[in-house]
Structure 1
Amino acid sequence: MSGGPESNKVVILGGGPGGYEAALVAAQLGAEVTVVDSDGIGGSAVLTDCVPSKTLIATAELMSEVAGAAELGVNFRDSDGDAATSLRVDLGRVNERVKRLAADQSGDIARRLDKEGVHVVPGRGRLDGPNRVVVGDTSYDADAVLVATGAAPRTLPTAQPDGERILTWEQVYDLTEVPTELIVVGSGVTGAEFASAYLALGIPVTLVSSRDRVLPGEDADASLVLEEVSKRRGMTVLSRSRMESVTRDGEVVTVTLTDGRSVHGSHCILALGSVPNTTDVGLEESGVILKDGGFVNVDRVSRTSARGVYSAGDCTGVLMLASVAAMQGRIAMWHFLGDTVHPLDLKKVSSNVFTAPEIATVGWSQQAVDAGEIAAEAVMLPLSGNPRAKMQGVRDGFVKLFCRPGTGIVVGGVVVGPRASELIHPVAIAVAESLTADQVAQTFTVYPSMSGSIAEAARRLHRV
């Protein structure tokens, strides 16, 4: 649906999930929509982050499954009839597929925007006041502006990527040779995912973590499982080890730690967090207040401090997930264009760490319960007792549910295991709809299935 002469004019800076989802909503509601995009439709989520990394991880998952096939009675033979002894990854072909799928996804989104009448302008946009965007020599007046400029990998003066052996997570897909020894600096979600993926691809990995455990922001029980599994599979994890510098000498990369130790490898991935793309966008000059670190300050309906200016996605620093960016963008347009809108509720957001095993969470956390922020009862059920898990050779992982004492309403959950990203959905529904543990327990599950453990955990939360 394209806008008519009396349409509201919406200009969106950025073509990532926050931008293109907002554009689709605004077009649906009759606005005249312009998207100013500098990096390719889909943004980093599609071109350099979520889609590429999860495509790489899909290959890693297959490698892991094949490596464990013998336990399920499947043996591989080479052309001479002898037992095959190793698996090898063709990283060049893997990355070629990664980039092709990302480009295809970007093209699909671009075609959808065109079909809905959204005007896409290539270039970098800048606010000239709250109601005007300038792109090169052209200016666009707007009744509302949405800033969805995203974020970029953080680097340090002592750890500068060269795009060849010292890499950000956006640069790994240009690798054609398999690293002989990979060092990953940073044990947050990005670092843990890449360390886990490359380990599964058969590459020796050392993970440098400044904290006392991997994934310090996730459920502690889940982090422990991941670290134990990773070490068992051969990963070297250096906890409480802060990086001082990363240097390269020919084919050798050296990570120097603040305690004087050095770690050597063929390649290094820097996973040091993100910085918002809010410099030179004209935000502060247009009345938009920025928080510490340069992130855009927004409320729960994506409004900034400047009237008519909204913001969505990683540049807000609210919760760096593509799903949250997309919802922030939709909420902004629903709010501006007068449609029904529900403010963003982070306690209903499900998220997943695509490691092996995966870690999925939703709602209130164990840390919040332990800190007394909410009163809740918890049950943790290991997957090792699940019949489907036994059939598939799965030993690691668990289901954990939190419910309110008295009412039994489910307020949170954690799933650790294969495809946890899929298993968390029934828990997310329970949290979003304030279902009780009894209601979850009394819902039929397939036997045998991994989801049966969710119902079983709910049954154990029953109180007479």
Structure 2
Amino acid sequence: MTDVVIIGGGPGGYEAALVASQLGGRVTLIERRGLGGSAVLTDVVPSKTLIATAEVMTMLRGAHELGLRLDGSDNLAAAFSVDLAAVNDRVLRLAAAQSADIGVRLRAEGVRLIEGSGRLDGTEAVIASTAEGEQRLAADIILIATGTTPRELPAARPDGERILTWTQLYNLRELPERLIVVGSGVTGAEFASAYNALGADVVLVSSREQVLPGEDADAGRVVQQVFERSGMTILSRSRAQAARVDGDQVVVELADGRTVTGSHCLMAVGSVPNTAGIGLEQAGVALDERGYITVDKVSRTTARGVYAAGDCTGVFALASVAAMQGRIAMWHSLGDAVGPLDLRTVAANVFTAPEIATVGVGQAEVDSGLVNAHAVMLPLHTNARAKMRGINDGFVKVFCLPTTGIVIGGVVVAPIASELIEALSLAVREKLTVDQLAQSFTVYPSLTGSIAEAARRLHGRSAVQTLSH
């Protein structure tokens, strides 16, 4: 029997454990904080649960457009207050329940679980450190899935009360009077959006001209416009270099000498991989200049028999990608049929209001000349279902190859973009043409109708790249 030892119980680790057990491996999984890792305990599940509550407040604020009133008032949301303690209690309760469910499933599949930390002892064993001491686990196959930790600025150390990382936000018992969010990437934008919807005064400090610089530029523009219209303050081209607590306030110092004062500060300035001190270099596992584990498309590291999955690889910081990396690692190492990881087929979502969902080729690649593609962008405000729901912001964008019409990418900006992207994700995965996408039936009225309409507009395009707004 093949001995498989997995360090890390996040999506990459626990999904790998399930596959390895299914394929007949004798599997041991080591996790020090709780099954599900940061994705379940401090990141994806908690943040999206918080955002789900914020979405309700967003809908309430727009209720007057649908003709809904409260005793003659246009502000239906004013009848509700946010009990952040109750919100966060629910967030943590759901996260704990999800973690427990993962444990039940793993045990049912025969996976041995060890609570503790692990480090490599060469490429054929792992040392598990637990409260009872250390034990050496022989391993034919090792998977590293240790994740990342929030990056900290030396001059803005989180204290867990006023200066916070996103893992510490769920300890808040009252809504921040004024929340300064440092960082306008995905994490910063999502929390800024959520707390703004919950009623906090939010200041978003962005080092770039526009929020979400890593996303489709048109999408980022829409989200920034919505943020500003909702009352959020955005400090563009502003780099935070320090933060300090002054009584019951936080003072954030900007590089240009300005200061911003608030009641709380969220530092969302990226992550660092959890790869130090676990014996990787000694085992011959190569790291890049940032400390991420170097892997190929079947999750192999540079050390024989050692694989890696998830955020610690720096490939794509998504739970779905981590899980697929873990599965691929086990399929490959245990001799099952497997295809390499194809990032072109990964669907990703930013849970702002509105959401941004993407798959495949993006606008930046087309604009830079890396990809020759046709594109059509349709605003949602012309869609009948959007009008009925009071949706005024957002769009659908579809990219296809000029000659064949094969769909190679798409962007959706909408309140439920995470659900709508599935049609484009399937088209990219299966190499469907715009004509095939256009000829599929969509419900009328529906937001998905705009996806089919965009595909119809791409039918028969000339060789000249166009973008219809």
TM-score range, shorter chain: over 0.9
Give the share of equivalent positions with the same residue, in percent: 64
Q: Contact 2:183–2:206 (CA<8 Å) still a contact in 1?
A: yes
Q: Contact 1:231–1:237 (CA<8 Å) still a contact in 2?
A: yes
Distance in 1 (alpha carbons) for counterparts of 2:62 and 2:439: 35
Partner in structure 1 of residue 25 of structure 2: 31
Task: Write the letter of the residue equivalent to 1:415.
Answer: V
Partner in structure 2 of residue 330 of structure 1: 327
Distance in 2 (alpha carbons) for counterparts of 1:210 and 1:444: 44
Task: Write the letter of the residue equivalent to 1:98.
Answer: V
Q: Contact 1:77–1:83 (CA<8 Å) still a contact in 2?
A: no
Distance in 1 (alpha carbons) for counterparts of 2:79 and 2:394: 27
1:246 aligns with 2:239: no
3-state SS, counterpart of residue 431 of structure 2: coil
Task: Write the letter of the residue equivalent to 1:394.
Answer: I
- 1:71, distance to aligned residue in structure 2 (A): 1.4
Distance in 2 (alpha carbons) for counterparts of 1:177 and 1:385: 40
Distance in 2 (alpha carbons) for counterparts of 1:354 and 1:292: 30
1:15 aligns with 2:9: yes
Distance in 1 (alpha carbons) for counterparts of 2:30 and 2:128: 8
1:187 aligns with 2:184: yes
Q: 1:87-236 alignment to 2 at 5 Å? A: 87-136=80-129, 137-236=134-233
Structure 1 runs of 4+ aligned residues shifted over 6 Å read none
3-state SS, counterpart of residue 89 of structure 2: helix
1:305 aligns with 2:302: yes
- 1:67, distance to aligned residue in structure 2 (A): 1.3
Q: Contact 1:398–1:417 (CA<8 Å) still a contact in 2?
A: yes
Specify whether residues 83 and 147 from structure 1 end up closer, same or farther in structure 2 by C-alpha distance, changes over 3 A only. Answer: closer
Distance in 2 (alpha carbons) for counterparts of 1:97 and 1:127: 37
- 1:309, distance to aligned residue in structure 2 (A): 0.1
Distance in 1 (alpha carbons) for counterparts of 2:76 and 2:165: 38
Distance in 2 (alpha carbons) for counterparts of 1:318 and 1:354: 20
Q: 1:280-319 alignment to 2 at 5 Å? A: 280-319=277-316
Distance in 1 (alpha carbons) for counterparts of 2:279 and 2:294: 15
- 1:86, distance to aligned residue in structure 2 (A): 4.7
3-state SS, counterpart of residue 376 of structure 2: strand
1:419 aligns with 2:412: no
Specify whether residues 140 and 221 from structure 1 end up closer, same or farther in structure 2 by C-alpha distance, changes over 3 A only. Answer: same
In structure 1, the gaps of 5 or more residues are 1-6
3-state SS, counterpart of residue 290 of structure 2: helix
In structure 2, the gaps of 5 or more residues are 462-469
Distance in 2 (alpha carbons) for counterparts of 1:156 and 1:86: 40
Task: Write the letter of the residue equivalent to 1:385.
Answer: T
Distance in 1 (alpha carbons) for counterparts of 2:393 and 2:80: 23
Q: Contact 1:311–1:329 (CA<8 Å) still a contact in 2?
A: yes
Distance in 1 (alpha carbons) for counterparts of 2:183 and 2:397: 27
3-state SS, counterpart of residue 294 of structure 1: coil
In the superposition, the TM-score normalised over structure 2's length comes to: 0.96
Distance in 1 (alpha carbons) for counterparts of 2:377 and 2:319: 29
* RMSD (CA atoms): 1.3
Partner in structure 1 of residue 39 of structure 2: 45
Partner in structure 1 of residue 357 of structure 2: 360
1:275 aligns with 2:269: no
Partner in structure 2 of residue 4 of structure 1: none
Partner in structure 2 of residue 443 of structure 1: 440
3-state SS, counterpart of residue 196 of structure 1: helix
Could you give the per-residue CA deviations for residues 407-459 of structure 1, whole angstroms, max 9, x where no partner exists?
00000000001110000000000000000000000000000000000000000
- Aligned residue pairs total 456
Q: Contact 1:359–1:417 (CA<8 Å) still a contact in 2?
A: yes
Q: Contact 2:349–2:358 (CA<8 Å) still a contact in 1?
A: yes
Q: Contact 2:63–2:76 (CA<8 Å) still a contact in 1?
A: no
In the superposition, the TM-score normalised over structure 1's length comes to: 0.97
- 1:77, distance to aligned residue in structure 2 (A): 4.2
Q: Contact 2:206–2:238 (CA<8 Å) still a contact in 1?
A: yes
Moved more, 112-121 or 65-74: 65-74
Moved more, 107-116 or 85-94: 85-94
- 1:76, distance to aligned residue in structure 2 (A): 2.5
Task: Write the letter of the residue equivalent to 1:399.
Answer: V
Q: Contact 1:397–1:415 (CA<8 Å) still a contact in 2?
A: yes
